[in-house]
Amino acid sequence: MAVSNSPRRRWLQVGAVGVAIVVAAVVWLLSQPDERRDEVIGHWPPGTSQEPAVPFTEQRGAAINAAITSRDRGRFGEAVALPADPTIAKESLAALSDLPRWVFDMATVRYLSDDAATVSARSASTDWQVYLILDTDVWKIAATERLPA
């Protein structure tokens, strides 16, 4: 039986070789020590700056959750960037305290500048993009965006 050298078959072969090269490159990159991997691809993703003097941490994420669910106006202001003397209804604080806590995905923290960042979070079955600002050396929520399911 003769082997067909049709153009379609050649393109499939070229495609298979291309996929094999990409897979080999990814496997090689993942097998490198962190220092070498950072040297090859860079530690910070494109469009972000290096970690600021005050990084967003898991502990700060936990403090934000505790403040939002506390039902206390003062503590709420410790977690969310608010204008001076905001009016927040007790009912609103009570409703927030009943929400599931956010789990911040620390691997997704992206510093946009020394005082602005984003992080992905999950609350129950909802995904969020959380926008943070650094206010007097404390990361606070500036805005949130519910992500499509």
Residue 12: band (very low, low, confident or very high) from pLDDT cuts 50, 70, 90? low
pLDDT of res. 138: 95
Share of the chain above pLDDT 90, in %: 37
- Averaged pLDDT for residues 59-76: 92
The region of weakest confidence among 16-25, 52-61, 137-146 is 16-25
| Per-residue pLDDT tens over the stretch 83-104 | 887 888 888 888 888 888 899 9
pLDDT of res. 7: 66
What's the angle, vertex CA 33, arms to CA 32 and CA 38, rounded to 5?
90
| Per-residue pLDDT tens over the stretch 35-64 | 554 555 554 444 455 678 899 999 999 999
| Per-residue pLDDT tens over the stretch 112-132 | 988 999 999 999 889 999 999
User: Which numeric CATH code is attached to 58-146?
Assistant: 3.10.450
User: How large is the angle between the packed helices 34-41 and 7-31, nearest 10 degrees?
Assistant: 130
E-strand stretches of 62-147: 103-113, 116-123, 126-135, 138-146
Look at residues 106, 127, 122 and name the one whose alpha carbon lies nearest to residue 56: 106
Q: Model-level pTM?
A: 0.65
- Averaged pLDDT for residues 62-84: 90
What is the distance between the alpha carbons of residues 93 and 57, in angstroms, rounded to a whole number? 24
pLDDT of res. 9: 62
